[in-house]
C-alpha cells in the first residue's frame, strides 16, 4: 500500500505498505532528480561585487548591477503541479478522499470511506472450506515463490510492465498509481482494524507461511485492495485493450497471497469490493479527476496503442 519500517516492512505491510517501497527514499518517483549542486566562489563574481568579494560560497546580493548577474524573478506564480512528487500528491489526495461522498450504483445510497459495507464476503465464507483450499494451495508455493516474494513490496512494477510505461514516459499516470496505492493502504488498514480477523495460520498453524506473517489483521487483504484499486484507476486512463490484463494482474497478485497462506479467499474478495467502492470515491476528488485528464492525454499521444 503507499506515501511507508516496522516489523511490517519485511512484508511491506501486506502490500498495504508496498506504496512506501514505491514512493519513498530513493527519489526514483520524484520528477526532480536528487542532484547535488555545489556552488563555489567565482572569480568573475568577485570582480563585480560591491566591496570587492563574496566570501565563502555566497551568491551575489540583489544589488549587483552587472547585466550577467541581474537576477530577475522566476516565471512561476505558483508551485507547478508537475514538480510535485507522486508520494506527496498521494497525501494531498487522502485529504480530499476522506471528504468525498459517492453514490452506490446498486442501492442509490450515498456512502463515504467509513461506511462501505464489507460484511458480505466474510459473512458468506465457510471457514473450514477456506482453510481446506489454502492447504491445497501449499503445493503451488515452490512455483510462485519468487513472484510472490517480489510482490511483497513495489507491486506497481507489474502494472508498468503491462503496457511498457514508467515514471519518465507517463508521469501523470505514475502519480495516479501512487494515489491508488496510498488510498488502498489507508482503506485496508481502516477496515482491518474494524474486523480484526485472525490470519489463517493463527487458526491453523500447520499452514506455516514461508514468510513472516504481517503484523495486522487478515480482512480485507491489503494486496487485493491495492492491486484492484490500481487496476480500477488505471482503467480510467489506459486503452481499452488493457482492461483484461489489468484485471488479471490484480487477481493474480491477490491469489499469490493465498498461496503463501497469508489470506483467505474471502479476504481477497473483500479487498476487491473495497477497491471498487474506493474508486467511486476517488472519482469525486478534484485532484484525482484532474490527474486522470492529464494521464489520458499521455495515452492519447502514444501512437503505438
Rounded CA separation 97/46 (Å): 53
Dump pLDDT digits (tens) for 223-281: 999 999 999 999 999 988 899 999 999 999 999 999 999 999 999 999 999 999 999 99
Pick the residue with more confidence: 242 or 40? 242
- Maximal CA-CA distance, the chain: 85
Count Cβ atoms below 10 Å from residue 41 Cβ, excluding itself: 14
Q: How confident is the model at residue 35 (pLDDT cuts 50, 70, 90)?
A: confident
Set of cell numbers at residue 119: 460484511
- pLDDT of residue 129 exceeding 90, the answer is yes
pLDDT (average), residues 138-164 = 94
The percent of residues above 70 in pLDDT, for the chain, comes to 75
Q: Which of 22, 15, 33 is nearest to 178 (CA)?
A: 22
Query: What angle do helix axes 243-259 and 141-150 make, rounded to 10 degrees?
Result: 110
DSSP annotation of 34: -
Set of cell numbers at residue 24: 519513498
- What residue ranges define each of the domains in the chain, with the CATH number in brackets? 7-30+88-300 (1.20.144.10), 43-71 (no CATH)
125 contacts 266 by C-beta, under 8 angstroms: yes
Q: Which of 187, 196, 228, 194 is nearest to 215 (CA)?
A: 196
Dump pLDDT digits (tens) for 50-73: 554 555 555 555 555 555 555 566
> Which pLDDT score is estimated for 27?
36
170 contacts 242 by C-beta, under 8 angstroms: no
Helix (H) or strand (E) holding 103: strand 102-103
> Which pLDDT score is estimated for 75?
76
Set of cell numbers at residue 4: 511507508
CA atoms within 13 A on the CB side of 60: 21
pLDDT (average), residues 1-12 = 41
Which of 15-24, 82-91, 186-195, 232-241 comes out lowest in average pLDDT? 15-24
- pLDDT of residue 14 exceeding 80, the answer is no
The terminus-to-terminus CA distance of the chain in angstroms comes to: 29
- pLDDT of residue 152 exceeding 50, the answer is yes
What are the beta bridge partners of residue 102?
111
Sign of CA dihedral 173, 235, 4, 141: negative
Mean pLDDT value across the chain? 84
DSSP annotation of 24: S
- pLDDT of residue 125 exceeding 70, the answer is yes
Pick the residue with more confidence: 245 or 4? 245
Set of cell numbers at residue 73: 524573478
Rounded CA separation 271/229 (Å): 9
Which of 25-39, 87-101, 224-238 comes out lowest in average pLDDT? 25-39
Amino acid at each position: 500500500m503507499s506515501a511507508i519500517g516496522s516489523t511490517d516492512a519485511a512484508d511491506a505491510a501486506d502490500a498495504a505498505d508496498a506504496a512506501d517501497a514505491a514512493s519513498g527514499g530513493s527519489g526514483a518517483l520524484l520528477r526532480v532528480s536528487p542532484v547535488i549542486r555545489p556552488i563555489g566562489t567565482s572569480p568573475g563574481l568577485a570582480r563585480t561585487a560591491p566591496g570587492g568579494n563574496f566570501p565563502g560560497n555566497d551568491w551575489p546580493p540583489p544589488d549587483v548591477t552587472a547585466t550577467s548577474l541581474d537576477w530577475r524573478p522566476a516565471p512561476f506564480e505558483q508551485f507547478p503541479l508537475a514538480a510535485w512528487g507522486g508520494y506527496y500528491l498521494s497525501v494531498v489526495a487522502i485529504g480530499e478522499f476522506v471528504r468525498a461522498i459517492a453514490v452506490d450504483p446498486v442501492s442509490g445510497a450515498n456512502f463515504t470511506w467509513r461506511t462501505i459495507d464489507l460484511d458480505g464476503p466474510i459473512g458468506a465464507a465457510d471457514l473450514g472450506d477456506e482453510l481446506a483450499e489454502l492447504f491445497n494451495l501449499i503445493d503451488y508455493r515452490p512455483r510462485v515463490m519468487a513472484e510472490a516474494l517480489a510482490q511483497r513490496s513495489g507491486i506497481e512494477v507489474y502494472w508498468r510492465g503491462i503496457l511498457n510505461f514508467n515514471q519518465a514516459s507517463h508521469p501523470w499516470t505514475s502519480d495516479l498509481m501512487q494515489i491508488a496505492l496510498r488510498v488502498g493502504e489507508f482503506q485496508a488498514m481502516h477496515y482491518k482494524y474494524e474486523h480484526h480477523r485472525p490470519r489463517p495460520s493463527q487458526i491453523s498453524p500447520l499452514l506455516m507461511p514461508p514468510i513472516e506473517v504481517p503484523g495486522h489483521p487478515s480482512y480485507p487483504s491489503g494486496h487485493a485492495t491495492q492491486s484492484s484499486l490500481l487496476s480500477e484507476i488505471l482503467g480510467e486512463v489506459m486503452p481499452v485493450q488493457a482492461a483484461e490484463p489489468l484485471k488479471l494482474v490484480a487477481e493474480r497478485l491477490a491469489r499469490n497471497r493465498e498461496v503463501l497462506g497469508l489470506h483467505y479467499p474471502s479476504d481477497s474478495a473483500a479487498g476487491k469490493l473495497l477497491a471498487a467502492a474506493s474508486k467511486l470515491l476517488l472519482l469525486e476528488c478534484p485532484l484525482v479527476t484532474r490527474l486522470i485528464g492529464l494521464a489520458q492525454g499521455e495515452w492519447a499521444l502514444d501512437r503505438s496503442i
